[in-house]
Amino acid sequence: MLPIDAPAIADGAVLVDDRGRIAVVGPNHAVPRPADAESRHLADAALLPGLVNTHTHLELTGFAGMAEEADFWEWIKHVIALKATRTDEDFFNAASRGIRECWAAGVTTICDMGNTGSVIAAMHELRANGIAQHEAFDMHAEETPTVMKRFSRELDRLAQHATGRVAIGVAPHAPYTVSGALYQAVSDLAGAHGVSIGVHVAEPADESALLRDFTGIFADALRARGITRVSPEPVSPIAWLDRHGVLTSRTICAHAIHTDAADTVIMVRRGVAIAHCPRSNRRHHGADAPVARYVDRGLRAGIGTDSEVSVAPLDLMAEARAARKLTGWTAVETLRVLTLGGAEALGLDASCGSLEVGKWGDMTAVRIPASKSPEDAVLASAIADVVATWSGGRSVH
């Protein structure tokens, strides 16, 4: 058993109470076995906290392999076209399947971004755990009041699903789809309600070019729509978001590839969290995020898969292996980022991320060979090795 916040226990056991909270953690012989408790013995397996996926787009479940463009803008346009072929019911079914696939891969906490509202509805229905961040887009600053009216209405409608362990957040999408005015308005709204903010930031190199001197693929696309400038003077993506109040301790920055020392100073000052998506970064941009630098400076960081249109299937353990290669983390450090680190990044570490008395019974069991260290063996595992998953003590896989 790998509690994460405490050393591994060779023959460990967890007792979960009838509210779904962890009541006792310890060596098997020391954990009580109430007569009415349902009991399960897992031989040849490691038991660990459910994994935390800090960045995904589950409404895109089912689109794996359907958009293979190397050019990022062409890829985005293809994804938008694919989405236009789906009904609300299709999206809800896709999101539900995506949540079940997360559980089957040992993931019990999800931070999702999307614009259909299907993921928060499916999380509510399936009693999943995590945050659904609703996307805002619009590059015409003068339209911000109209866009915000519609956005607020959508949030009001979606908030009915934010019950139990499901939280709502906002996601001003990216610097090439959101004007400065809209960034400010969405940040103000998030601040007023104390909800999380998800952003794609410093991801493609052309995003930096757009804000520096209005060049690159995004500038070309915007020029064709009558927009001739984004920032009045050269600015980095991180500084641009900071200027509009987007960077806070409730903000989760996905990707954050193209940042320098000055950006990192801003990120540390604001206390943002990082959703590191190593395989998506490589697939779309052939680049790596300086995640070791972020963690060294004390930023909270978790691992994300991004959507299955980027990398399929969603395999958080494979992402963790890729992250480990970039950072030189030990197996113990890598497993911490996958679980408690991700929970900290999402602000959910008081209730999940480790096997600790009082936290939810979010757990996964992974089949491992006896010959290896359990941490190394878990990190080497495949999705098919996940033998069971519980969310709040409820068997979900």
Residues that bind Zn ion (CB under 5 A): 306
Comparison of 231 and 281: residue with beta carbon closer to Zn ion: 281
CB of 144 to Zn ion, least distance (A): 23
163-191 in b/e form (b: 16+ CB < 10 A) is: eebbbbbbbbbbbbbbbbbbbbbbbebbe
CB of 274 to Zn ion, least distance (A): 13
CB of 200 to Zn ion, least distance (A): 5
CA distance 155 to 101: 26
Alpha helices in 60-203 (DSSP H): 72-83, 88-104, 118-126, 144-159, 180-193
376 contacts: CB under 8 Å, gap ≥ 6? 331
Comparison of 167 and 277: residue with beta carbon closer to Zn ion: 277
What is the number of the residue whose Cβ is closest to Zn ion? 306
CB of 310 to Zn ion, least distance (A): 7
CA distance 319 to 275: 11
CA distance 260 to 257: 9
Tokens encoding 28:
């098997």
CB of 255 to Zn ion, least distance (A): 7
Q: For the chain, report the end-to-end CA distance as a whole number of angstroms.
A: 18
224 contacts: CB under 8 Å, gap ≥ 6? none
Query: For residues 187 and 250, is the Cβ–Cβ distance under 8 A?
Result: no
Comparison of 54 and 339: residue with beta carbon closer to Zn ion: 54
Comparison of 55 and 250: residue with beta carbon closer to Zn ion: 55
CB of 246 to Zn ion, least distance (A): 16
Query: For residues 36 and 369, is the Cβ–Cβ distance under 8 A?
Result: no
Comparison of 306 and 349: residue with beta carbon closer to Zn ion: 306
CB of 299 to Zn ion, least distance (A): 19
Angle, alpha carbons 177-303-168 (nearest 5°): 55
Closest to 104 measured CA to CA, from 314, 356, 320: 314
Comparison of 127 and 282: residue with beta carbon closer to Zn ion: 282
Tokens encoding 110:
């999800």
* DSSP state letter for 217: H
Tokens encoding 139:
């590059």
CB of 304 to Zn ion, least distance (A): 8
Place of tokens 């397996």: 45
CB of 308 to Zn ion, least distance (A): 11
Comparison of 306 and 344: residue with beta carbon closer to Zn ion: 306
Comparison of 304 and 361: residue with beta carbon closer to Zn ion: 304
Comparison of 207 and 306: residue with beta carbon closer to Zn ion: 306
Closest to 256 measured CA to CA, from 212, 204, 219: 204
CA distance 375 to 188: 42
Tokens encoding 191:
């601040």
CB of 67 to Zn ion, least distance (A): 13
Tokens encoding 141:
């600053």
Query: For residues 352 and 344, is the Cβ–Cβ distance under 8 A?
Result: no
Tokens encoding 183:
């960034």
Comparison of 306 and 319: residue with beta carbon closer to Zn ion: 306
CA distance 46 to 290: 31
